[in-house]
Structure 1
Amino acid sequence: MDGSFHRAPARRPARHLLLPLVAGTCAVSLLSGCSDPAPPKSSASASASTSSGSSDGPRELEDDYQQVIKNVLPSVVQIDASEGLGSGVVYDDKGHVVTNAHVVGEEKEFKVTVATGGDPLAAKLVATYPEQDLAVIKLNKVPGGMKAARFGDSTKVEVGQIVLAMGSPLGLSSSVTQGIVSAVGRTVSEPRTGGGTGATIANMVQTSAAINPGNSGGALVDLDGSVIGIPTLAASDPQMGGGAAPGIGFAIPAAMVRTVADQIIKDGKVTDSGRAALGISGRTVLGDDFRPAGVAVASVEKGGPAAKAGLEPGDVLIGLDGKPVETINSLTEALASMKPGQQVKVEYQRDGAEKVAEVTLGEM
């Protein structure tokens, strides 16, 4: 099943992204929006209380929700760029706010509204990292009472875990929706058109919590009050005229958010992406049946991984470590799950003959 993604700040047109899915009969498009003291019980304990048969169960779960919202919502802000609205999460006590790269776009200055109210605050861009659709901005002046969010361990996120999405959908600041973690480890590709960054993002958290235009850059939070991801994509169904397909949203995992944000704050840029690269530029080629049949190598980075392995311009890549490569997107998605320094087998065609090269991946 093919899926496409839309990511759009409020008041911006939706941006369409592509995601290959394995089962199902309909195409789904996805759209993403831009428009602490005593922690509460964990989702596991909350679930246990509701299933115990106690009449207090639902009330205890409701109390957990309200406590998480009280603790985390003050750390979620609305970001006003000239072309639309998005959300952000306060990252530290120095006024740094993490958000999506597609929320900030090409802009350098912003107005930020905090959940506690008051006049909008001025902020400036620190740096953007479109390859992972993340960015950091910084408030010119940190208001009293603002607190940083607590980022959790996204590697421990489990399917079925209760989560809350916080942000400014459709410009409605300080909004909260709830759902569960539907899947983990998803890889999503977005286009470079319509404001998208063209990023391919691995290990995303899929959630049933409603993600609408304006939610992009906000917080996906567990019942311990920890941010486990940054909501980035929500689903729409192209067979229904692009209308919403409820219950399919995606968030960048907290581990990647921390990796990128820490480097941007320290060095003003990402110095260690952790993303694998072949060191080529290429384009999708069609076979005799006019269907995608591989990636033609247009150029090879001098001294890069592909060059060292003997790959040359004109070669057609057809497989990577046993996975078929039919398009430039499928190649990028395969690389997204790999690490620099990893050794892989690249299957390719040269002058009509199929060959295999051993490549030690470099870094993006």
Structure 2
Amino acid sequence: MTIPTYDTIILGAGAAGLMCAAIAGQRGARVLLVDHADAVGKKILISGGGRCNFTNLHTAPDRYLSANPHFAKSALGRYTAQDFIALVEAYGIAWHEKTLGQLFCDGSAKQIVAMLQAECDKGGVTLALGAPVGAVDHGDGLFRVEIGGRIAAAPALVIATGGPSIPQMGATGFAYDLARRFGLKVVEPRPALVPLTLGGDETLFRSLSGVATEVVAKTGKTGFREAALFTHKGLSGPAILQISSYWRHGETVGIDFLPALASGWLVAAKHARPRATLGGALDNHLPARLAVTLADRLGLEGELGGFTDKRVSEAERQLADWRFSPNGTEGFAKAEVTAGGISTAELSSKTMEARKMPGLYAIGEAVDVTGWLGGYNFQWAWASGYAAGLAIAGA
């Protein structure tokens, strides 16, 4: 039996895999794009509330986490947010900036998937969908992949199967198993951009489920000013999802509940309205339920005028750096992305090719490069896919 041979086999028809396939195919490479799902881009379709937050205007290497913070520079510099915007506009897809440089389709994420599909069609990419991948081996300069019971071969193999976040979409740790199979090291994967859970004495904050307010959330030297949301399990919202990527078990998360107010505001409020209560003062700036809960926890009962300036200042300091001790996260099931992954030390930052295993590439979320919330991870997918696609096609 003759085994069909391609120039590259790409495992994973998500954002990175589709971009890689399109770039390599349009430059003359014979590409086989494989996915266990029955359609391409399924995770793209659910992103951004169905409108796909496809990139961020403020993309820069310092907005990515990695054991090597410099690794992403090359790929991000060669394929920028403006490059992807130009592609989107070439297809007549209307878009808008929502906030903080986050770009969304005016219509639907389906438009982005259709665009990538069309780009693959231009490159003559062969699709193998709904086909589980079996054994993968290498010999005589070729990778051989069992796909739905059949074998295909190519001198180049691309790992673009992402991480284990959102397992209900079929996500697994397949990328890491395959990387280890070929001797590549993996940085311990963990949930990122994920809600944090609270336990013990802090469970009382769960009674605030549904309450949201703008805060600065911080851990260590890293902080984000966006909305935080109390949930029936703990803390969520953009500020919390952002900080979760930096948080480690055993660490605290500091919350400034009143980032818009200047230092000394509460003492000033006391002197202006000495008969006001702390809850009343907070009620002017925070959701009522949150104001009551924080006031109760601080223990300043009665009129503010009955307390010394020192005691009032101490309450203000606590409100500006309220310490939560999360007992965990909601895990990969609720994580938007996976931090960690195939070690960047194993890969060329220019081509995404494995140093120890010529012909083997890793791109997108499978790699130990994790962006902030807001389109950064899509831009990494486009940029890393572009870099590998060019290298595979010899461009």
TM-score class, shorter:
under 0.3
- The structure with the greater share of residues assigned to strand is 1
- The structure with the greater share of residues assigned to helix is 2
With normalisation by structure 1, the TM-score equals 0.28
Q: Which one has the largest radius of gyration?
A: 2
With normalisation by structure 2, the TM-score equals 0.26
